[in-house]
Structure 1
């Protein structure tokens, strides 16, 4: 049995937009879509299943309308939504969530459940962001952020696969800056400081892309090396992409520290859906 793509929803418009996106994604990858409606146990003194019939039926109908061929199932869970989705994510192709839910304040840029799940899930988490007209694949591009080291390896593989099933181009972005204090001494010969403190940016991209590019030899890949803020570089690149992919490190520490500043920024501000892919 194929591992499903899991979409969490609570009946809010943002969560139903995530269901729309997830249905198309499931068809692209030829995997089943499993819809999860989770209600905290203390909500309405443990709401009975019939209270979820309306929202579940609406979500199922919406998924089928947008992707008639999708293989669809649903489930109602009486537990904390973040915990329920994290549990489902242990055996999921990916988790798809809206950027806000029914219980989130209007001023929040990202819902609390989506943030908690993106920080702790064992599988890729896609937070569906942006206006409807910007979620329909019109740009023909997937953007992936590449950092120095192994933290982006799984994210790059995920991004190549997304570009492949979408029949679109991949843009790999690496932002770099000279480490603070690198020139506290008189400047060394040209090029020395960069080599002494980190690999050349172009080499970082070449090394990260080499393996996946061999697996997808027909893919169109472009490279962007940006001197400056990774946050700004990724947000700028996402303006012309259908999906932004970023990696995340090992799941350790306290919530709020696990995603890193760059991932927090793109999850809150990106104009397109964002995939957070844990290192594996």
Structure 2
């Protein structure tokens, strides 16, 4: 299956956050020119809630799994009538179903939380698990994205450039997203001068910090050297913890892109501290792009 044939997959459970994710995913699929696949995965047959029930005109206790996917697909179709849309109910735990769906997807889109009703400050366990294990990019709809993938309100895509700057899958993904939207790509590299390298000697004052800053600039240039010429790139090196720097940058972005190393044979969440932090605290949608270690 070629990249152009790979669908964009969105997970829904009928909750309001997941329906906003369907809206966003429909925009993104139309932007990419790929089919949209709407998936509802659950071991529960019945829906518990009012948002979707009201939309399809049924009492909540009468809404079944098929209604959820049909309602979500219909919502996407009304938004983009030209879009090729498929929908399916999967009777299994959503984490496993969505990770498996990601094997044949161009990307996965999920809401930040589902039917638990927790405040958006907290990331749902399904979203976190999918972002940690999926083999394709996962976009988690955090922040005030206004249900739209494009045009964005802030007009930029931000990517965090990590330690392995060369041949970064996250940078390539971010550049393509910026190109599709016709907005600048802001590449950010955080750097810190470890405390044990500081010195009070007047002839050495500032020297360790200067060296770390220069290395950050070099890493940034290495990461960006092969990007398409039609992508406008803005560069930024910022002193501080990468987690704080990227969360701050999310306030001026429509999409924040970070990488996550995937190690063969490694068990447990494969996210890293930076990706984990921005998934919990970003002010905009976050794309987690897997990178083979």
Q: TM-score, normalised by structure 2?
A: 0.84
1:248 paired residue among 257, 260, 285: 260
Question: Matched residues in 2 for 1:239 and 1:134: separation?
Answer: 16
- Is the counterpart of residue 155 in structure 1 residue 170 in structure 2? yes
Deviations 1:68-96 (A, max 9, x none): 22110011111111000011111110010
Question: Matched residues in 2 for 1:133 and 1:16: separation?
Answer: 12
Gaps of 5+ in 2: 47-62
Deviations 1:108-140 (A, max 9, x none): 611110000101111100001122538451211
Deviation (angstroms), 1:278: 0.4
- Is the counterpart of residue 115 in structure 1 residue 128 in structure 2? yes
1:93 paired residue among 86, 106, 109: 106
**Greater shift in the superposed pair: 181-190 or 137-146:** 181-190
Q: Is the contact made by 2:142 and 2:284 (CA closer than 8 Å) also made in structure 1?
A: yes
Q: Is the contact made by 1:36 and 1:74 (CA closer than 8 Å) also made in structure 2?
A: yes
Q: Is the contact made by 1:152 and 1:246 (CA closer than 8 Å) also made in structure 2?
A: no
Deviation (angstroms), 1:195: 8.4
Deviation (angstroms), 1:27: 0.7
Cα distance change on mapping 1:107 and 1:217 into 2, 3 Å: closer
Question: Matched residues in 1 for 2:172 and 2:130: separation?
Answer: 21
**Counterpart in the other structure of 1:18:** 21
- Is the counterpart of residue 3 in structure 1 residue 6 in structure 2? yes
- Equivalences, count: 269
Deviations 1:246-275 (A, max 9, x none): 0011243323xx212221111111111100
Deviation (angstroms), 1:193: 3.7
**Counterpart in the other structure of 2:156:** 141
1:31 paired residue among 34, 48, 71: 34
SS for the counterpart of 2:234 is strand
Cα distance change on mapping 1:103 and 1:194 into 2, 3 Å: same
Deviation (angstroms), 1:107: 7.4
2:240 paired residue among 228, 236, 252: 228
Deviation (angstroms), 1:232: 1.6
SS for the counterpart of 1:70 is coil
Deviation (angstroms), 1:187: 8.3
Cα distance change on mapping 1:265 and 1:128 into 2, 3 Å: same
Show the 5 A alignment for 1:1-280: 2-40=5-43, 43=44, 51-103=64-116, 105-106=118-119, 109-133=122-146, 135=148, 136=150, 137-150=152-165, 153-183=168-198, 189=204, 193=208, 200-212=215-227, 216-251=228-263, 252-255=266-269, 258-280=270-292
Deviation (angstroms), 1:179: 2.9
SS for the counterpart of 1:279 is strand
Cα distance change on mapping 1:204 and 1:86 into 2, 3 Å: same
